[in-house]
Amino acid sequence: MKKHGNLIYDWSGVGKENQTLSGNIKANSLRAAKVDLMSKGILIKRIRRRRAAIFTLAPAIKAEDILFISRQIAVMIAVGIPLSNILKSIAKGSEKKTVNQLLTDIRSKIDAGTNLSDALKLHPNHFDKLYVGLVSVGEESGTLDAVMDQVATYLEKTEHIKGKMRSALIYPALVMVVAIAIITLLLIVVIPEFENLFAGFGSQLPALTQKVIFSSYLIRAYWEIILIFLTTTGCFTILFYHRSEAFQKHMDRLALHFPITGKLHRKSVISRITSTLSVMSGAGIPLISALDTISRATGNRVYTDGLTKIKQEISSGKSLSSSMENSHLFPPMVLQMVSTGEESGELEIMLEKVTEFYEQEIDVAVESIGRLIEPILIIFLGIVVGTIVIAMYLPVFQSGAMFR
């Protein structure tokens, strides 16, 4: 079954208590957007598909912005400041116009009588189901300040892990870009000069030299075709990845077993799962509902499918630890900690300890990958450049030997 990208629809209407509401919603079609809004008790007055902006100077709202907003709300609620005033204060202090607009829109809903969770639900691009679910629990239990603090802490940990993953991959990516640029420069600029020099040689060029010269000729003669082919292949791969669940699962499985970075990716996914489950367990959200939400936020299709099966087994009466063991996706240490948490009634604490352990493991893994990849890339670059240099000087050595 193919997946189609969600569209964004701007809408305005009337809520259950006759308050005027407006916002945006993601849906696969106009009909799906209307059904979703009506299911929330909203009488639609206007709904229109948002046109994608070709160019905009407005800065995008990033995860760091949502983290800052969450932390500010948690702190201000704890000292008794009304929510509407909090949002007004944060919006006024923001330098980003997009953040100001987002908070102003949420504040207008709250002033009209809407709950914070319902107001956030109207902005799924910035507040996912996990975020909205936790806020809803906080509102119902009267512990919104504590829940918002938990949410902010969770976002901090998530961003920390993402940052570590980025730092682990950005250096080798930059080195590879530089290496490709150097090799391309040699083939396009340097090799033709040697080719002109070799034209006056009477003897046949060595096989290695011929191959390097031929590679240079291909790049210079067909660079447009090569560029179009690479661009088309890249775009097609990305499009196919987003549209094919089978291809997503295959690539995500490959990411878990990829040399060097595979273990880091697996630790990152497990850390995200245990951290999210710990927060939702602490907020009192039922395990089935928590797993349903977490399965959409793993970042890996293999673990998404695994959590779906775990949820099904728990629904049939099995424990969380045994269901996780049957999935074959979690190491013995995690299973033992979860089992201990279930037996002692301290699942939240045990999951938090697992998360802390994996955060430390990720830090160590990132440093190890940096130390391991750097010499590998240097050796790779040295071999490629060295091969090109040797190929260019072989005819010189050969002709020198002939005149002795």
- DSSP code per residue over 121-133: HT-TTTS-HHHHH
Q: How many CA atoms lie within 13 A of 83 on its CB side?
A: 20
**Confidence (pLDDT) at 197:** 79
Name every residue whose Cβ is closer than 8 Å to that of residue 263 and which is 6 or more positions away in sequence.
Answer: 365
Residue 236 and residue 241: Cα distance in Å, rounded? 8
Those residues with Cβ within 8 angstroms of residue 24's Cβ, 6 or more apart along the chain or in another chain: 8, 9, 10, 11, 50, 122, 123, 125
Pick the closest to residue 114 from 5, 30, 41 (CA basis). Answer: 41
Whether residue 168 sits in one domain with residue 33 = no
In a domain, 366, yes or no: yes
Q: Is residue 267 in some structural domain?
A: yes
Across 310-337, b (16+ Cβ under 10 Å) vs e yields bbebbeeeeebbebbbebebbeeebbeb
Q: Which helix (H) or strand (E) holds 242?
A: helix 223-243
Q: Which residues of the chain have pLDDT under 50?
A: 1-5, 53-57, 402-404
23 is in which domain, residue-wise?
1-55
Task: Tell me: do 51 and 189 sit in the same domain.
Answer: no
The pLDDT assigned to 56 comes to: 47
DSSP character at residue 2 = B
**Inter-residue contact 126 to 102 (CB < 8 Å):** yes
- Indicate whether 88 belongs to any domain: no
Q: What is the CATH number of the domain that holds 352?
A: 1.20.81.30
In a domain, 229, yes or no: yes
Compute how many other C-beta atoms are within 10 angstroms of the C-beta atom of residue 387.
14
pLDDT of residue 324: 93
- Which H helix or E strand runs over 288? helix 287-294
Query: Does 125 map to a domain?
Result: no
**CB environment 30-49: b (16+ within 10 A), e (fewer):** eeebbeebeeeebeeeebee
* Cα gap 267→279, rounded to integer Å: 18
Model pLDDT, residue 57: 47
* Number of structural domains found in the chain: 2
Q: What pLDDT sits at residue 361? A: 86
Q: How far apart are CA 327 and CA 289, in angstroms?
A: 19
Q: Who contacts 198 (Cβ-Cβ below 8 Å, separation ≥6)?
A: 205, 209, 213, 395
What pTM was computed for the model? 0.66
Of 34, 55, 76, the last residue of a domain is 55
Q: What is the CATH number of the domain that holds 11?
A: 3.10.20
Kind of pairing between the strands at 7-14 and 20-27? antiparallel
Predicted confidence at residue 175, as pLDDT, reads 79
Domain boundary among 32, 55, 78: 55
Domain contains 320:
yes
* Torsion angle, alpha carbons of 215, 221, 227, 228, to 10: -130
Q: Is the residue at 49 inside a domain?
A: yes
Asked if residue 146 is part of any domain, the answer here is no
Contact 291, 327 (CB under 8 A): no
N-term to C-term CA, the chain: 71
Residue where one domain finishes, among candidates 13, 30, 55: 55
